[in-house]
Amino acid sequence: MSGQILAQHSTAAYHNVNGADCGNKVVVLNKVGSMRHPLVRACGWLRAGKQAMAMLVALATAAVAVPAVAGPTLLIDDATGHVLYAEQPDQSWYPASLTKLMTVYVTFAAVKAGKITMETVVPLSEKARGQPATRIGLRLGIDLNVEQAVRGLILRSANDFSMGLAELIGGSEEGFAEMMNAAAKQLGMTRSYFTNPHGLPDPAQLSTARDMAVLGRALHKDFPERAEMFSTPSFIIHRGTFHSQNDLLRTLPGADGMKTGFTCGAGYNVVVSATREGRRIIAVVLGEAMRDERSLRAAALIEHGFAVAEWKRVLGAPKLDKLALDPPAVQPVYDMSKETMTRTCGNLKRRLRQVAQAKAVRGPAPAKVDAPPVVPSQGQAKGG
């Protein structure tokens, strides 16, 4: 297994992204200060000379640390498909509003096929208007077109717009779900199943970090002309201005999409992409307990991706479509309801106790660098 990169789980066991034993290994561990970070461990046959090894060590030492304990995570180079970091990529998870990426994909496909246009009016039925928050809630008599609906569900996670698009394109919520599942099968999303267009809780609606990475790449590849719709920080419908719920668009250099998601059962999810000097990296983070933790982990992964992408390409890291599929989990999908730290999920006091206990153990916290404020959670049915 020449030139594979390993990730360390909380069990302290090392494996490569294919889950295979590496045999003879050349180990490079990254250190930041006095802390040892399980960033990279290169394994393979030692074929290079001392100069090449010195370069490899320098690259690893310069890499950005990735947290060791978290939910399912996947990091890829969008153009090449190289897997830059993987942790439980095939663990089933509730996608929450990441579901809307598939709603957008099916909508773009319908436009491309000529079934609708971006100017087609989207009727908002009583069912669409009655969807739980997050919703935009246009007044009766205000027209909504496909472009506005897509922008609304990308930027504001509008459940009413999602249902409106589903009924327009699929004829019904059930008909649109069939189209979503057909698209998932075509794209190779082997462990995803959709029952609704918005991601509100349904125990049957599942996906994985791998499948969301596949979907993110497909949106970029199949509809490059629509990329701007993911990166726009705000949009206007009639006299209303709506801003993106994705704080990474404001805080992460080069960020250009894609979608956040949240329910109590899913925790805080995100698929985010960023482009720098012509290279785009996609990170998928599932199941963080708090919104700011999701953003911090996603940003750290993106920085790590840019730091090691070229090195991974040279070493021959596996590509997403060649990454060995983990066996199906014996346990059912993990439910974050008791761990998601918001008042809505009933765990805010528990979170405050955990923070106090952690501070007591580690002593005074170091001075923090000023950062933009993080918008607090807005409830179980919210999109972000």
pLDDT tens, residue by residue, 179-212: 999 999 999 999 999 999 999 999 999 999 999 9
Going by their DSSP bridges, the two strands 14-16 and 30-32 should be labelled as unpaired
Asked if 273 is an active-site residue, the reply is no
Sheet strands (E) in 183-254: 234-237, 240-243
**If you average pLDDT over residues 207-226, what whole number do you get?**
98
Residue tagged active-site, from 25, 92, 157, 162:
157
377: left (phi over 0), alpha (psi -120 to 50) or beta: beta
pLDDT at 48 exceeding the cut of 80: no
Which of 203, 196, 139, 205 is CA-nearest to residue 166?
196
CATH classification (class only), 96-322: alpha beta
Q: Is 370 exposed, middle or buried (0-12, 13-18, 19+ CB in 10 A)?
A: exposed
Please state which of the ranges 27-31, 217-221, 308-312, 316-320 shows the lowest mean pLDDT: 27-31
Between strands 73-77 and 279-288, the pairing is antiparallel
260, burial (CB in 10 Å: exposed 0-12, middle 13-18, buried 19+): buried
Sign of CA dihedral 290, 291, 297, 298: positive
Tell me if residue 377 is catalytic: no
Say whether 157 is catalytic. yes
- The C-alpha atoms of residue 46 and residue 57 are separated, in whole angstroms, by 13
Q: Which pLDDT does position 77 carry in this prediction? A: 98
Rounded-to-integer distance, Cα 216 and Cα 272, Å: 9
What is d(CA 273, CA 68) in angstroms, rounded to the nearest whole number? 21
Q: What are phi and psi of 334, to 5 degrees?
A: -75, 135
Asked if residues 45 and 55 have their Cβ atoms less than 8 Å apart, the reply is no
Contact 171, 76 (CB under 8 A): no
According to the model, what pLDDT value does residue 356 have? 60
Binned at pLDDT 50, 70 and 90, residue 346 comes out as confident
**CA angle 12–16–21, rounded 5-degree value:** 90
Q: What is the mean pLDDT of residues 90-103?
A: 97
Lowest average pLDDT, out of 7-16, 113-122, 281-290, 339-348, goes to: 7-16
Q: Rounded to an integer, what distance in angstroms lies between the CA atom of residue 19 and that of residue 83? A: 13
**Model pLDDT, residue 358:** 56
The tokens 């992409």 sit on which residue? 273
- Check 100, 259, 312, 382 and give the catalytic one: 100
b/e map of 39-76 (b: 16 or more CB within 10 Å)? bbbbbbeeeeeeeeeeebeebbeebbbbbeebbbbbbb
Q: Is the pLDDT of residue 89 over 70?
A: yes
Give the range among 64-68, 216-220, 269-273 with minimum mean pLDDT: 64-68
Contact partners, residue 11, CB within 8 Å, separation at least 6: none
| Residue 141 pLDDT grade (very low, low, confident, very high; cuts 50, 70, 90) | confident
In which residue ranges of the chain is CATH 3.40.710.10 found?
Answer: 96-322
Measured N-to-C along each axis, helices 209-222 and 99-112 cross at an angle, to the nearest 10 degrees, of 30
Give me 146's structure tokens: 């496909």
